[in-house]
Amino acid sequence: MSEYILGIDTGSTKSHLAIFDIDGNLVAFDRWGPLSHEGIPGTFALFEEEFGRFVHGSLSKAKISMKQIVYSVMGLTGCDTKKQYKTLCEIAKRIGFENFTLSNDAYLGIPAGNPNGVGICGINGTGCSLAGINQKGDMLQIGGVGFISSDLGGGGIMGRKVVSSVYNEIFRKGPSTLMTPLLFQKLGISSKYDFVDTMCDRIDDNSYNKFNCVEMLFEAAMENDKVAMNILSTIAESYANGISCLIDELQFDIKEELCIVMAGSVFVKGKHPVQIDTIKEIISKNHPEYKIKYVKLEVPPVTGAVVWAFNMLGKTGYFNKIQSQLLSIA
């Protein structure tokens, strides 16, 4: 009976599942929409139902049974606390998983960018979070827990900052910004007195796109707009401080190169380098003793789940092969 490994990455925007044979060859790749117990009415009960449909449907299409899966790694959004971890592990077992590792999805960026699975991942995409794994296997997550962590970053937060900056200019005598005419043009309005009504209508009918606002933020930054640059720099400083905390807490081996993976659409596709440059500058100042390698994650994070699973089986030579197969498929 053939043997396979399975990797899963669930997120607030999209979810991916990849199946590889034991020789590192991609056998199946499947997609799903948002998949999180935090975003589904009924929380864990409905999550279990939908997650089960995703997993078993993917296996069925690939004509593979759960018994053929020798190891799985699942990076699940919303796995932030010990209680959530325990509940999600119980769900995984009921679905049929036997040998598996389960973690918050933020951790997947580390093995996706570094074959030994050691380092730090900063995610700036739909959401915002940081995660680290040291040489001993100690793990720590920073951010991603709503108002508790007061996250700065992610499309939702950044989009709101664009809107509030425009409001600040037109109704609080705040600094002028190029984001105002950009947003007005996007909304199709000519008077500031229509701004609130139009924004509320767009939010109510779900036509407001936070990522369009993020694009405006970078577009304004490219023109050296001070308000936009300040938003991006402030967010970058928050990430850098979190990364510095991870370095201090996890005490990475100073003799080894420290890999910091930058993941998520904002970090990967952002048109202005100010965020990455600010992070590098602060980390270099705070931790001059480390030799640091920065990796911009071009492959889907589910790559990390696959690499991690192979590492757990002691098969550590497939990193480049796995990356090349998943580079453009997602």
pLDDT in tens, 208-261: 888 889 999 999 999 999 999 999 999 999 999 999 999 999 999 999 999 999
124 shares its domain with 233: yes
- b vs e for 193-215, b when ≥16 Cβ sit within 10 Å of the residue's Cβ? eebeebbeeeeeeeebebbebbb
pLDDT: which is higher, 7 or 330: 7
Categorize the per-residue pLDDT at 146 as very low, low, confident or very high, splitting at 50, 70 and 90: confident
Categorize the per-residue pLDDT at 42 as very low, low, confident or very high, splitting at 50, 70 and 90: low
Average pLDDT, the chain: 95
215 shares its domain with 276: yes
224 in any annotated domain: yes
71 shares its domain with 127: no
Report the DSSP pairing between strands 15-21 and 26-32: antiparallel
pLDDT for the residue 52: 97
33 shares its domain with 135: no
173 shares its domain with 248: yes
Residue-wise pLDDT for 44-69, tens only, equals 999 999 999 999 999 999 999 999 99
38 shares its domain with 74: yes
Which of these, 211, 162, 153, 160, lies nearest to 183 by C-alpha position? 162
Check pLDDT > 90 for residue 96: yes
204 shares its domain with 246: yes
Percent of all residues in the chain with a pLDDT value above 70, rounded to a whole number = 99
Contact in structure between 88 and 94 (CB atoms under 8 Å): no
pLDDT for the residue 330: 67
202 shares its domain with 288: yes
85 shares its domain with 70: yes
Domain span including residue 39: 4-98+299-326
Check pLDDT > 70 for residue 142: yes
Categorize the per-residue pLDDT at 164 as very low, low, confident or very high, splitting at 50, 70 and 90: very high
135 shares its domain with 249: yes
pLDDT for the residue 139: 98
pLDDT for the residue 124: 94
Check pLDDT > 90 for residue 40: no
- Residue type present at position 27: V
Which of these, 261, 297, 264, 265, lies nearest to 279 by C-alpha position? 261
104 in any annotated domain: no
Distances (CA, A) of 292 to 109, 243, 280, 288: 16, 12, 9, 9
d(CA 101, CA 285): 35
285 in any annotated domain: yes
pLDDT for the residue 150: 87
Check pLDDT > 90 for residue 320: yes
105 in any annotated domain: no
85 in any annotated domain: yes
Query: What is the total count of domains within the chain?
Result: 2
Task: Look up residue 213 and give its two tokens.
Answer: 């606002």
pLDDT for the residue 147: 82
Cβ neighbors of 328 (< 8 A, separation 6 or more) are: none
208 in any annotated domain: yes
Check pLDDT > 90 for residue 80: yes
SS3 for the chain is CCCEEEEEEECCCCEEEEEEECCCCEEEEEEECCCCCCCCCCCHHHHHHHHHHHHHHHHHHCCCCHHHEEEEEEEECCCCCHHHHHHHHHHHHHHCCCCEEEEEHHHHHHHHHCCCCCEEEEEECCCEEEEEECCCCCEEEECCCHHHCCCCCCHHHHHHHHHHHHHHHHHCCCCCCCHHHHHHHHHCCCCHHHHHHHHHHHHHCCCCCHHHHHHHHHHHHHCCCHHHHHHHHHHHHHHHHHHHHHHHHHCCCCCCCEEEEEECHHHHHCCCCHHHHHHHHHHHHHCCCCCEEEEECCCCCHHHHHHHHHHHCCCCCCHHHHHHHHCCCC
- Residue in the structure block whose two tokens are 């900052």: 161
What's the pTM? 0.94
131 shares its domain with 152: yes
Categorize the per-residue pLDDT at 36 as very low, low, confident or very high, splitting at 50, 70 and 90: confident
126 shares its domain with 270: yes
The span from the first CA to the last CA of the chain, in angstroms, equals: 29
Percent of all residues in the chain with a pLDDT value above 90, rounded to a whole number = 87
Q: Summarize the confidence of residues 282-293 as an average pLDDT.
A: 97
d(CA 283, CA 292): 9
What is the CATH number for 10?
Answer: 3.30.420.40
292 in any annotated domain: yes
106 in any annotated domain: no
